[in-house]
Amino acid sequence: MKRFVRQSAVIARRDFLATVGTPAFLLFLFAPLFMLVFATVGGSGARMIAQSGADSLRIVAIAEGAQGTRIDAADARLRPLFGPGLAPPALQRRAPEGDSAAQARRLFADPAIDVAAVLYGPPATPVILHTAKGESGARYLAALAEIALREARAGIPPGGRLTSPRFESFERNGATISGRQATGFAALFLLFLLTLLLAGQTVSVLAEEKGNKVIEILAAAVPLETVFVGKLFGLFGVALLFIGFWGGLAIAAVLLMPSNGAALAALDPAIGFGPFVALAVVYFAMGYLLLGAMFLGIGAQAGTMREIQMLSLPITFFQMAMFGLASAAAASPGTGLALAAELFPFSSPFAMAARGATDAGLWPHAAAIAWQILWVSITIAIGARAFRSGVLKSGPSIIGRMGRLFGKRPTQY
């Protein structure tokens, strides 16, 4: 056993240094920064286009005299109640020009203005025309018309104001249910993304070493089970270095940002920030080892990089299904679905990470970690045997055997 551990440590150190000591690792390390820059640029462009379209949209009220003045006054009172990005389109008021119905329809054909909804007709029985994207604007026009009519019947002069309520701000210092669920889902999504990104690296390393025959040299020197475990934990060290680098930058950014006690208090995990972060790291380790062992074991069955990619694709789909299951569990904690996601080995790390944000109990995490360690051991044992048989086999690969099974023949030239 001691010899097995020592040989595995040698393989792990070799894979760790071979991965970290290359210039390509810097590109891999800063890949999230490039993704963030591209996402920011693309998001800014999309937001500018959407904002430009929203700014050009208008709702129109065809009214004059006291009725028009009351509509303008009602709009001035109601519009500030909407939050940023939620206000209805800007209101324009037009004086009636003969047939108001025909005038309203002409506005929709006017290329100089993008009209979402038009109000016209008598104050007691107004008519509102609207497009498919103008339903909310039409409802807002209806509210303005109703307020104007009530003020007219109450004898309030045009432009007069009803008694306005007094608004007082209140800062909530405690955590909220929605805030904790948002924290849990954010942790779940981050763990899934990191696990999928970093565990998939094992496939590329394995493909490279199978292509240049390094794996055969290692197989002649030490048992293949040792190679499997060494590679798994060596690349796990690379993953920890990646997380440590970006985690340190994230902590520094949070410390340098202006403090907002109310916002942080609303997101405070039920289990506490310190234990929550520690549990997230443990659950990442469990998820990485489960997925990495699957990638190595299945990837060893392929003979070429193309076959490795084809075999790893179903694993990715399976992980997406596990992410969906864990997300559904995070949205409904304490239900039977949440319990199923927490018990199923491959979704358990993600579901339990989300549970830490909403449940203050520590014993479920102790039980979950013990359960996951059991399944990590089982997966590594099965993966090591599959790795050994895949590397030592001399016949066609699994995909080649499948092609032969379904009657596929090589192309004749």
User: In order of start, what are the domains of the chain with their CATH numbers?
Assistant: 57-154 (3.40.190), 177-405 (no CATH)
Secondary structure letter of residue 116 according to DSSP: E
User: Cα separation of 290 and 274, whole Å?
Assistant: 25
Beta-carbon count within 10 A of 133 CB: 13
Tell me which residue of 315, 320, 319, 292 sits closest to 205, measured CA to CA. Answer: 292
Classify residue 395 by its DSSP letter. S
How far apart (Å, rounded) are the C-alpha atoms in residues 46 and 89? 19
For residue 59, which phi and psi values (nearest 5 degrees)?
-115, 145
Task: Flag residues of the chain having pLDDT under 50.
Answer: 53, 395, 405-406, 408-413
Q: What is the pLDDT of residue 400?
A: 53
Angle at CA of residue 114, ends 110 and 116, nearest 5°? 115
Q: How many other CB atoms are there within 10 angstroms of residue 162's CB atom?
A: 13
> What's the confidence (pLDDT) of residue 170?
53
CA distance linking residue 234 with residue 239, whole number of Å: 9
Residue 350: is it exposed, middle or buried by C-beta count within 10 angstroms (0-12/13-18/19+)?
buried
For residue 375, what pLDDT is reported? 92
Strands 114-120 and 127-130: antiparallel
**Considering only CA atoms, which of 337, 348, 293, 330 is closest in space to residue 315?**
293
Whole-prediction pTM: 0.67
pLDDT score for 395: 47
Alpha carbon distance 255, 247 (integer Å): 12
Q: Which two tokens stand for residue 18?
A: 């071979």
* Strand order from edge to edge, sheet including 90-94: 90-94, 57-62, 114-120, 127-130
pLDDT at residue 171, as a whole number: 58
CB 239 within 8 A of CB 195: no
The amino acid at 129: L
**Spatial contact of 136 and 89, defined as CB atoms under 8 Å apart:** no
CA dist., res. 316 & res. 99, Å (int): 63
Residue 317 DSSP label: H
Q: Torsions phi, psi of 190, nearest 5?
A: -65, -45
DSSP strand E in 238-393: where?
none
Give me the half-sphere count of Cα atoms (radius 13 Å) on the Cβ side of residue 238.
29
Residue 236: how many other CB atoms lie within 10 Å: 21
3-state SS assignment for residue 56: helix
What is the Cα–Cα distance from 265 to 196, expressed in whole angstroms?
Answer: 30
Contacts of 369 (CB under 8 A, 6+ apart): 282, 286
Q: Are 188 and 352 in contact (CB under 8 A)?
A: no
H or E stretch at 191 = helix 177-199
Within 10 Å of residue 17's Cβ, how many Cβ atoms?
Answer: 13
